[in-house]
C-alpha cells in the first residue's frame, strides 16, 4: 500500500457557514469517490481557505460527514493580488494501491480554472 497525495479545490459562491459545509462536503465526497477511497484510507487532510472566507472552518465539513478520526488542519491561503476569491483547497494524504498517474485530483465548478492541466 502506497501513500499518495490528492489535491482538490472548490470556489464558494458566498461566505456562509452552511454553504461552505455543503461545498466542502461535496468536494470531499468527490475526492473519495473518484479515487475509490473510504475514510479508512485517509491519513490526514490539510485545508486552506482564501483570506476572504471567515464563516467556518473547512474541516468542520469533514467532521460533519463522519471523518472523525483523521487529523485535519486549516490554514489561510496566501493573499495574492488577482487570485481567485472564496476558494477552499485541500491536500489529502491517503493509503491506496493507485499509482500516482491514476490519482484523480478534484477541482469543482469555477475552481477547475485553477488547474487546467489536470483532467477532471
Each residue of 77-105: pLDDT tens digit?
A: 999 999 999 999 999 999 999 999 999 99
Q: Residue 40 falls within a domain, yes or no?
A: yes
Residue 5 C-alpha cell reads as 497525495
Classify residue 120: in a domain, yes or no. no
Q: Mean of the per-residue pLDDT values for the chain? A: 95
User: Does 71 map to a domain?
Assistant: yes
CATH code of 65's domain: 3.30.1330.40
Interatomic CA distance for residues 104 and 14, integer angstroms: 26
Q: How large is the average pLDDT for residues 62-81?
A: 96
* Residue 57 included in any domain: yes
- pTM score: 0.93
- Rounded CA-CA distance 58/3 in Å is 23
DSSP tag of 105: -
Count of residues in the chain: 120
Q: Which residue would you say has higher pLDDT here, 114 or 38? A: 38
Query: What Cα–Cα distance (Å) separates residue 88 from each residue in 14, 51, 66, 111?
Result: 12, 10, 19, 9
Provide the domain count of the chain: 1
pLDDT of residue 42: 98
Neighbours of 103 (CB within 10 A): 17
Is the pLDDT reported for residue 119 higher than 50?
no
Q: How confident is the model at residue 115 (pLDDT cuts 50, 70, 90)?
A: confident
Domain range holding 17? 2-115
pLDDT at 88: 98
Backbone angles phi, psi at 66, to 5 degrees: 95, 10
Residue 31 lies in a domain: yes
Q: Is residue 86 part of a domain?
A: yes
Amino acid at each position: 500500500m502506497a501513500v499518495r497525495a490528492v489535491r482538490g479545490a472548490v470556489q464558494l459562491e458566498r461566505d456562509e457557514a452552511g454553504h461552505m459545509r455543503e461545498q466542502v462536503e461535496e468536494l470531499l465526497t468527490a475526492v473519495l469517490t473518484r479515487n475509490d477511497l473510504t475514510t479508512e484510507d485517509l491519513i490526514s487532510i490539510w485545508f486552506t481557505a482564501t483570506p476572504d472566507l471567515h464563516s467556518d472552518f473547512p474541516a468542520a465539513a469533514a467532521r460533519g460527514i463522519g471523518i472523525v478520526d483523521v487529523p485535519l488542519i486549516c490554514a489561510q491561503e496566501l493573499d495574492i493580488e488577482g487570485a481567485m476569491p472564496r476558494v477552499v483547497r485541500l491536500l489529502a494524504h491517503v493509503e491506496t494501491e493507485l499509482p500516482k498517474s491514476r490519482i484523480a485530483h478534484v477541482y469543482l465548478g469555477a475552481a477547475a480554472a485553477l488547474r487546467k492541466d489536470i483532467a477532471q
